[in-house]
Each structure stands twice: as structure tokens, then as C-alpha cells.
Structure 1
Amino acid sequence: MLINSPIISFTILLIVIFTIPPLFERLKLPGLVGLLVAGVILGSSGLKLLNPESDTIKLLSDIGKIYLMFVAGLEIDLEQFRKTKNRSIGFGILTFLFPLIAGIFVGRLFNFSWNTSVLIGSLLASHTLLAYPIISRLGVVGNEAVTVTIGATIFTDTGALLVLAVCVGIHGGEFTPLSLLTLLAGLAIYSAIVLFGFDWAGKEFFKRTGDEQSNQFLFILLALFLASVGAQIIGVEKIVGAFLAGLAVNDVLGRSPVKEKIEFIGSVLFIPCFFIDMGLLIDIPAFIRTLSSIGITAAIVIALIGSKFIAAYLAKLLYSYNNTELLTMWSLSLPQVAATLAAALVAYQTVNSANERLINESVLNSIIVLMLITAIIGPMITSRFASSLTVPQANLADKKLLSWWGNEKNNLAENINDIFTVIVPIYNPQTQRHLLEIAALLARHESGKMVPLAITKGHAQMDNPLLQMGLAQSRQRLDLAREISQEFDVEVSPVIRIDDDIALGISRTSREQNANLVVLGWSKNIGFRSRLFGNIIDSIFWSSHCPVAVTRLLSSPTTFKKILVPVGDLTRQTISAIRFSQILADVNQAEVVLLHISNPRTPGIQVELFESKLLDVASKSKLQVKTNIQTVKGDDIGKIIIQEATNYDLVVLRSIRYRTTGGLAVSEVTTEVIKGLKSSIVLLGEPN
């Protein structure tokens, strides 16, 4: 009775999700492997604590399965796809067709039916961008071969799921050419309704709801489940609808805080449940028999690896890529995780009237082995060769800096400033002095003014004692701000604002004041609540019209003599960080050091070329600031930055501002650096 209790089952699942993945990651193994192993141990082949046939497991696994495909649709970068649309489609066709043909050949070789053989081919045709964090960390996402491979994902995943839909439809009933035509026609109409209808409805809904993130979150979930239900109604597997829904709302969500919450809920709960259920379905004796008669497993693995290489090689010949780009494209298209596992489970669970499965246990077990192998070797090859890729660097003649530090005037008539303005929201008396000091230094350097801002939480009744107390506290903070401004001989215009939303109150005031910069103190809210519900800084980055500098100042900015700026590429955000650092250094006659960490395998000529471009960027500043370049070779970027920063007063890091649907985006390396640095930090972002 306890084992069959939904609450007991759910509790066991939570314990597994909470404990197992971190343990496997410490062993340098993917966390999802740990979930599969846990499923095997807790299932019928082990402790029998979880029953894959129970309603609880079925429900959570189904949600995880469609959630996995939904997130796969969300993660496809449509902007990257549009940049290299033709070449992405070309490579997508190659890396879809060759594995499909190879899979069909393997299926027929082992005497499977034509329908099952085509299904096996479709399982090999898709790919998961498991190594994307690696190329992102290396800063080579802008390389054309990488962009083409990312764009090809939309073609391979969509094609594989459409083939799955047809194969499941054929297996489930009597097949006739008319029934196939009807299925394809219904699928085409349904796809158009989801892709265009949901996209339009989502944009209209988001436009009308503004910053109501809770309603937007529910709308996206509703779109996911409506698309999944609709797919089942027309006789197509629900994961096809989920993937189409992900593509449909991709543009709507962009990189918004709502998208982060959608992905967070899936990654910490539903998707892990799906992987545990995969483990529950593994029959250990059957799995051992599959591996002992290794023929089909070896054939599937070799077919996948070989066909993906042929596709990448042909792309190299067609588009004149070099060998490094060939190997990177190949390694990126190797991992078979999301779409492959979800489709394999669907095929295994599809039973016809004769009680025959679409694929048997040997194929399912072989796909699991394929997933494990490709999930390991794909990222390893990417890490080995992607570091030698080259990316086009920003051209200052073509990409003007939109911010005041780029010496560019804003071309919006209503945004013309008579005087340079820095907004400084203040709250904590113990930390606000350093915050006001850095704002005052910048304002004085630009012959502008500082606007200290105190936000008082609003109440329905304006005579509420709590409101009166809050206003009194705000006036005390602003009195201190006036004293500090007098020390720096800078104009000050204190502002008190009553607002229900602190973040929007700051953004609205900066807009009303035509501010050039918002200077914020560092938030300590970086735990579970921050990840799930966001925080004030994220909201300000999302809504502010002007650049935002988030600071953690451990000493007075007037004492900064050595400023470190880690530089990985020459994007506009990096150049902005350099310019900002030079302005801050000019205030204190400080030195700026541009730290470039190159991969040990990067050719020396390439490193020298980057240093020369970096020196050219640094020398274009009109300020007479001592700026040096330091290059360090190493693989652990975060650790090197933390070590080098011990001798510096301030580290300036760059973030990415997404102007439309926004938020603060930092890489895993930046997160590691922020946690490890013992010096002062400025995290800089400008409108994009």
C-alpha cells in the first residue's frame, strides 16, 4: 500500500532528484545518467520501490516527456537560424538524411520491418546541442560553422518527430496510402495552426499583460498542453505538439524572465522524472542480453557516428570550412539525448492490435547505450577542437556603442539630455556610501549630476503610518547622499518615489530623469527564491532604458588604482566594459589591465592577432589612461580570473542586456568568478 501511494512515490522521486545528480556530477558523469541508474535500482529489476505502471509515475513521466520536447523547441535559437538560414537548412538536410538512411539500413540488416527500420533511422537523425555551454564558454558561438549547426537543429528535430508521427500512425492501424495522405495533411494544417496561431496569440497576450509574469507563465503552460492535446486529437504523438509549441512561443519568450521560470520548473522537477521513468523501464536481464549480443548496439552506434561525420564532411566541402570547423560540426551533432530518448520511449510504448511494439527492448536498450556514448564523446571532441575556431570580431566603424561611454549621442528626440545624469537607488545605510561615491565620481567626470533615489513602498491609504515611517527613513538616506555629494563637488538632485514595485519605480524614475546610467548595489538574493521568482536586479535590467552598472564595492572607489577587465572576445559588450573601465580609471589616474585567457591549443599567430585588435580598441579611447594587455594560457577560465584578480582593486565584468524581453544574462564562468572574487566588482550591461 505504501509503495502504491502517490505521495510516497512522489517523495521518493524528489529525494532521487535532489541527491543523485550532484553525486554523479562530482564523479564527472552527467546527472541524467544518475537518474537513469536510480530508476533501474528503484524499479522492477532492483528494490521495486517505484512502479512504472502507477498513475503517479505515468503522469509525471508524460509531463516530463512533453516538457523535454517543449524546452528543446524553446532552446533553438531562431535568430541564429535566420542569420544562416540557407546553409543551416543545407546542413540540416545532410545530417538528417544520412543518419536516417544509415538507421534504415541497420534495421533491415537485423530483419526489422520497413516501418520499424525507418523509425530507427529517425531516432538517429536528430541531435541535442549538449555541448552548447562549451562553445558559449569559449566565445565561438559567432563562428559560422557553429551557427549553421545550431540552426540545423530545427530541421533535424522537426523532421525526426514528423517521421515518428507517421511511423506511429502506420503501426497503430491499418495502413493505406489514403490514410497516410490524410495524416500528413492533418499534420501540416495542425503545424501551421500551432506555429502561427500560438505565436500571434502569445505576442498579443504578452503585449496586453505587460509585466504580469504569473499570467504569462500560465499562458505558456496552457499553450504547451493545448498543443499536446491537439496533437493527440489528430492522431499524432503528443511530443510532436509539444515541440511545435516550443517553436511557436520561442519568439514570444525570447530570453525573458518567464522563459527562465519555465525552464527552471522543467529542469528541476518534470524532466528528471522522465529520466527516472526511463530507468524504471530498463529490464536488467534484457539489457545484459542486448549487450552480450552486441551486434545491434554496435551497428546503431557506428551508423550514427559514421553518418554524422559524412554529413559534416560534405558540409565542409560545400561551404569551404576547415578541418577544425568540420570536427566541431560533427561533435555538436553527435549527442542523442532529448528528442531521441523521448521518441524512443514513445516508439517502445506504441503497441498495435497484434500486441507488437514498434521497437523492441533490444533497440530501446541500444538507444540508451547510444545516448550514454554520444553524451560523453560529443562534448569531449567539442572541447578539444572548438577552442581553435575563429569568430568575426566587432567592427567599431559598423557597430556603434549606444551608451554614453561610447561618445555617441542618443538619437531619440525625447531622450536628449541637457546634463549627464546618474541614478543611484539607495536603501542600506551601511553600503550606500561607496555606491554614492562611484556615482559621484562618474557624474563629476562627465560634468553631470547625481540623482539619489529612495523608493518607499506604496500603500492604499496615503495616511498609513507605515508609509509615513518609510518616507521619514527615505529622507534620512537622502540627507546622507547630500553630504557625500558635497565632498565631491557634484550637483545632486535627490528624489523620493512612492511605488508598489521597487524595480519599476527605479526604471520609471530613470526614464523620467532622462538618466544616462543606473548604479545599483549588489543583491545577496542569489538562492532558490531568486532563481524561481527573479529579483529586483533582473527586473531593472529588463525594464531600464539606459545602461545599468551593478556594483559590489568592498572599499572606496577613490582608492581604485588597478582595474582588471577580463576579455574573451571583441563583441560590443566587451568594448563597452573596456570604455567604462577607462573612464573610471581616468578619475583616479588608475591603470587598466585587459586580461585575455587563451586556450593552450590556440595557435600563437591567432593569439597575437587578437592582441593587436585588442590593443587597437584600447588605444582608440580619447582618455589618457594607461591600458595594458595581459595574456594567460589555460583551460579553467574562472579560476585564472580569480587568481589574477587578487592583485587588483576592481574587476569589471560584462553582462548581456536583452532589450525586448530581457533580463540579466551571465555565463557560467561569470557566475563562478562573481562567487570567487574577493575584490570589488562592477557587472556592466547596456541596452541591446
Structure 2
Amino acid sequence: MSFIGSLVIILLFTTLAGHLTARVGIPAVLGQLLIGIIIGPGVLNIIHPTDLIEQFAEIGVILLMFMAGIESDMQQLKKYFKPALAVALSGVLLPVIVMGTASFCFGYHFQEALFIGVVFSATSVSISVVVLREFKALNSKEGATVLGAAVADDILGVLLLSLMIAIVGSNSGTGGQESPNNILLQLVLQGLFFAGVFLLVRWIAPSIMYLSTKLLIPTSRTISAMIICLSMAYIAEVVGLSGAIGAFFAGIAVGQTPTKKIVNTNIEPISNAIFVPVFFVSIGLSVSFNNFLVSLPFIVIMTILAILTKWLGGEMGSLIAGFDRDSGRVIGTGMIARGEMALITAQIGFNAHLLDKNLYIDIIFVIVIATLLAPLLLRWSLRKLAKI
């Protein structure tokens, strides 16, 4: 099937799923994830993952995080930086230790078990952002902490992945290990990236957006914002970070300018109409039911641990930082979703021969199930918080 035909089917089914889930009070994102499983190789086998679908999905993540950045309150993020760091640290260490140990108990080699722990240390805040926006909690203390923790979590995940590849070594490409000099260079580049973020927020983005208002093009401000967004996403990927993180900071930068409202108004309909649904469907397309019964004990136990380690890790970090139990529950459940970050990490491990194919598929299953349950748990915790 051509990409255009696939896109029509994806948009049709996600629209219907969004309508049905809204009627029963379930987040629309959950319906989109399930549609990906149903129309993908796992069930009906209508749509298959392709490079174009993956590229559209990547743009969906970038735009979703860009909008989250635009809508974020910079003062709130600064205010809750310390609790966000505490949440990120506990939310990374607990999955690495617990899930690594559990994998080792299932008979996997030490390096495989350790890498599985690293995979599940990742958090995909993109899905949590959808639910937080739905409850208008994106700029609450809980929402700001989840966003800040996700940024710190991503950086820690990249560091762990780099160290893992360096210690174990990759059999692909050159077949050798990453040299310490390469890791040091990557860390330096990431440091320069964050220095660049400061310059972007303070001077570069305001100057670009001011100049955009002088251009004789009706969409000049939206185009300029997209150039900033995609440029930051690209630079983030070049230095070894997630493009979603670059887009998030780009959104923060644009959100500090007078063009914030018109940019958000113009970009949100495009992203929500095309790119974001493709992103959520693409996660479901990764599911395959081959050898499912054989792997079921591993999948069930690891899914439970994937949920509990992030939930408890995030809640524990928030309690240490001074939040009450109800706010801690929101933060913990907001960190559960793995989504694209864990999928990317698993893909890197598979390509580097750190995971065999069957184990890789099992891990994808755990990621998808945990991601499916994440918005339900976050929605439940936000409702409990609202009743207080």
C-alpha cells in the first residue's frame, strides 16, 4: 500500500477511535495506540511500519513537545527544577536496578540485563503531555515537575546509553568499542547545546521572531517558529540527545515572545490533525504476537515492574523534594510512559547486538503495554488530586 493510502487509513481510524474513546471518558491517545496495534502486523496486518511513517511520527513527537514548550511557564519550570531533578534521579536508578536484576533472574546475561534496565530508565513525556493538557495541568507544580524531570531523565538516559555502549562495545559498524574520547566529546557538545539553549531563549529566538513580523508573508511568524523548532530538534540529535528535547526548548524560547499565541494557534491544528496521530499509531505498529505465549511470563512481570519502578521512583523523588502524597502520585504516574524514548534506546541496543531479535520484540511489547496503561493511570491520579 502507498504511503498516502496508509495515511488515509491511519487518520480515518484514529478519528473514529478518538470519538469513541472520548464518549467513554478514555484519553484519545489510548485509542490511537490501540488502533496502531489493530491495523498493524499484530492483528489485521493492513499497515506496516515504513520509513515515511516513522519520519511522520518523529515530526509528531517534535511538534507535540514544541507545543508543550510554548505552553510551559518558564517560571514554574525554574521553580520546580530541584524536585524535577530528584524525580529524574530516582526514576532512573530504580528501573535500572530492579528491571536489570529481574532480567538477570530470567537467565539473560549480565550485559543484556543491564541494558534492559537502561531501556526502561527512559521516559516519554509526550503521552503524559496530552493528558496534562487535557486536565489543564501542564503549568501546575505537578506538570512542571514532570516536564522538568523528563528533560533531566532524557539526559541521564543518554549518558547511561553512551556508557553502556562504551563498556560493552558494539559489534556493528567498526565492531569496536566507543572510545572514551568520543564520549567526552559528546558530553562537551551536549554542554554547548544547553549553553546554546540559554542564548536561544534570551536573544536568538526573540530576534528571529521580531524579524518575522517585518516579513511580507502572512505565515512568516509560523514559518520562523518552525525553523527554530526543527533546527533545535536537529541539533539535539546531532549532539546525541532526543530531538524532542530540542523541540521542547525551542517551544520555551518561542513561548517567551509576543508571537506565542499566533504560533500555537497555527501549529496545533496541523500537528494534531496529521503528525501526532501517526506518532501514536506508529508505537502500536511495533507490536508482533509471534512467540507471545512463550514470552508471556517475562512480558507480564516486566510490564508490572516497568510501571511500578517509574511510578514509585517518581513518587519517591517527589516526596523527598517536599510534595505531598497526592501530588507525588500524579508525578509518578506521569513518568510511566516509555514510548519513543525507550523504543529508540531498544533499537540502538538491537542494532549494536546487545539484544537478540526475540528479546527485542518482547521489550517492545512491554514498552507498548506500559505506554497504553500510562495515560489511564495518570488520568486516575489527576482526578484524585482534583477531588481534594
Query: TM-score, normalised to structure 2's length?
Result: 0.81
Quote how far apart the aligned CAs of 1:357 are. 4.7
Q: Hey, what does 1:79 align to over in structure 2?
A: 75
- Percent identity (aligned): 19
Is 1:96–1:156's contact at 8 Å kept on the other side of the alignment?
yes
Aligned equivalents of 2:204, 2:152: Cα separation in 1: 25
Residue 76 to residue 268, structure 1, CA distance change in 2 (3 Å): same
Aligned equivalents of 1:337, 1:276: Cα separation in 2: 19
Q: Match of 2:333, SS?
A: coil
Per-residue CA distance 1:466-501 (angstroms, 9 max, x = gap): xxxxxxxxxxxxxxxxxxxxxxxxxxxxxxxxxxxx
Which one-letter code corresponds to 2:276 in the other structure?
A: I
Q: Hey, what does 1:608 align to over in structure 2?
A: none
Residue 65 of structure 2 corresponds to residue 62 of structure 1: no
Quote how far apart the aligned CAs of 1:124 are. 8.3
Q: Hey, what does 2:361 align to over in structure 1?
A: 361
Picking from 346, 349, 353, the partner of 1:348 is 346
Aligned equivalents of 2:275, 2:202: Cα separation in 1: 24
Residue 365 to residue 75, structure 1, CA distance change in 2 (3 Å): farther
User: What aligned pairs does 1:289-688 form with structure 2 within 5 A after superposition?
Assistant: 290-293=295-298, 294-316=300-322, 325-336=324-335, 340-351=338-349, 354-357=352-355, 360-388=360-388
Quote how far apart the aligned CAs of 1:337 are. 6.9
Quote how far apart the aligned CAs of 1:203 are. 1.1
Which one-letter code corresponds to 1:379 in the other structure?
A: R
Residue 204 to residue 49, structure 1, CA distance change in 2 (3 Å): same
Residue 177 to residue 63, structure 1, CA distance change in 2 (3 Å): same
Per-residue CA distance 1:66-103 (angstroms, 9 max, x = gap): 22333333343213234xx2xx1232122112121111
Residue 9 to residue 131, structure 1, CA distance change in 2 (3 Å): closer
Q: Hey, what does 1:7 align to over in structure 2?
A: 4
Quote how far apart the aligned CAs of 1:287 are. 5.4
Per-residue CA distance 1:261-302 (angstroms, 9 max, x = gap): 222221221011011111111113455655443221122222
> Could you say which structure has the greater relative contact order, defined with CA pairs below 8 angstroms and 6 or more residues apart?
2
Per-residue CA distance 1:635-669 (angstroms, 9 max, x = gap): xxxxxxxxxxxxxxxxxxxxxxxxxxxxxxxxxxx
Residue 279 of structure 2 corresponds to residue 274 of structure 1: yes
Residue 79 to residue 237, structure 1, CA distance change in 2 (3 Å): closer
Per-residue CA distance 1:214-259 (angstroms, 9 max, x = gap): 1111111111222222233334443343333233333236751211
Quote how far apart the aligned CAs of 1:113 are. 4.4
Which one-letter code corresponds to 1:105 in the other structure?
A: I
Aligned equivalents of 2:121, 2:195: Cα separation in 1: 26
Aligned equivalents of 2:241, 2:124: Cα separation in 1: 20
Aligned equivalents of 1:18, 1:175: Cα separation in 2: 45
Q: Hey, what does 1:149 align to over in structure 2?
A: 142
Q: Match of 1:217, SS?
A: helix
Is 1:127–1:336's contact at 8 Å kept on the other side of the alignment?
no
Quote how far apart the aligned CAs of 1:352 are. 6.1
Is 1:17–1:268's contact at 8 Å kept on the other side of the alignment?
no
Q: Match of 1:252, SS?
A: coil
Aligned equivalents of 1:334, 1:25: Cα separation in 2: 21
Q: Which is helix-richer, 1 or 2?
A: 2
Aligned equivalents of 2:13, 2:35: Cα separation in 1: 7
Picking from 223, 226, 235, the partner of 2:228 is 223
Is 1:17–1:272's contact at 8 Å kept on the other side of the alignment?
yes
Structure 1 residue runs of 4 or more that deviate by more than 6 Å after TM superposition: 124-127
Which one-letter code corresponds to 1:101 in the other structure?
A: L
Q: Hey, what does 1:204 align to over in structure 2?
A: 207
What's the C-alpha RMSD, in Å, of the aligned pairs? 3.1
Residue 41 of structure 2 corresponds to residue 49 of structure 1: no
- Which has the higher Rg, Structure 1 or Structure 2? 1
Aligned equivalents of 2:230, 2:20: Cα separation in 1: 33
Aligned equivalents of 1:254, 1:383: Cα separation in 2: 33
Quote how far apart the aligned CAs of 1:345 are. 2.1
Q: Hey, what does 1:645 align to over in structure 2?
A: none
Quote how far apart the aligned CAs of 1:64 are. 1.6
Quote how far apart the aligned CAs of 1:45 are. 2.2
Quote how far apart the aligned CAs of 1:20 are. 2.0
Residue 217 to residue 179, structure 1, CA distance change in 2 (3 Å): same
Quote how far apart the aligned CAs of 1:351 are. 4.6
Aligned equivalents of 2:271, 2:333: Cα separation in 1: 24
Is 1:95–1:156's contact at 8 Å kept on the other side of the alignment?
yes
Q: Hey, what does 2:109 align to over in structure 1?
A: none
Residue 13 of structure 2 corresponds to residue 16 of structure 1: yes
Q: Hey, what does 2:117 align to over in structure 1?
A: 117
Which one-letter code corresponds to 1:185 in the other structure?
A: V
Picking from 265, 268, 276, the partner of 1:263 is 268
Q: Structure 2: where are the runs of 5+ without partners?
A: 105-111, 171-175
Q: Match of 2:128, SS?
A: coil
Q: Hey, what does 1:95 align to over in structure 2?
A: 87
Q: Structure 1: where are the runs of 5+ without partners?
A: 389-688
Quote how far apart the aligned CAs of 1:182 are. 1.2
Aligned equivalents of 1:254, 1:78: Cα separation in 2: 16
Q: Match of 2:151, SS?
A: helix
Is 1:74–1:246's contact at 8 Å kept on the other side of the alignment?
yes
Is 1:81–1:147's contact at 8 Å kept on the other side of the alignment?
no
Is 2:121–2:157's contact at 8 Å kept on the other side of the alignment?
no
Quote how far apart the aligned CAs of 1:16 are. 2.1
Moved more, 213-222 or 346-355: 346-355
Is 1:196–1:248's contact at 8 Å kept on the other side of the alignment?
no
Q: Hey, what does 1:244 align to over in structure 2?
A: 249
Aligned equivalents of 2:201, 2:82: Cα separation in 1: 27
Q: Match of 1:380, SS?
A: helix
Which one-letter code corresponds to 2:184 in the other structure?
A: L
Aligned equivalents of 1:161, 1:297: Cα separation in 2: 21
Moved more, 259-268 or 108-117: 108-117
Q: Hey, what does 2:239 align to over in structure 1?
A: 234
Q: Match of 1:72, SS?
A: helix
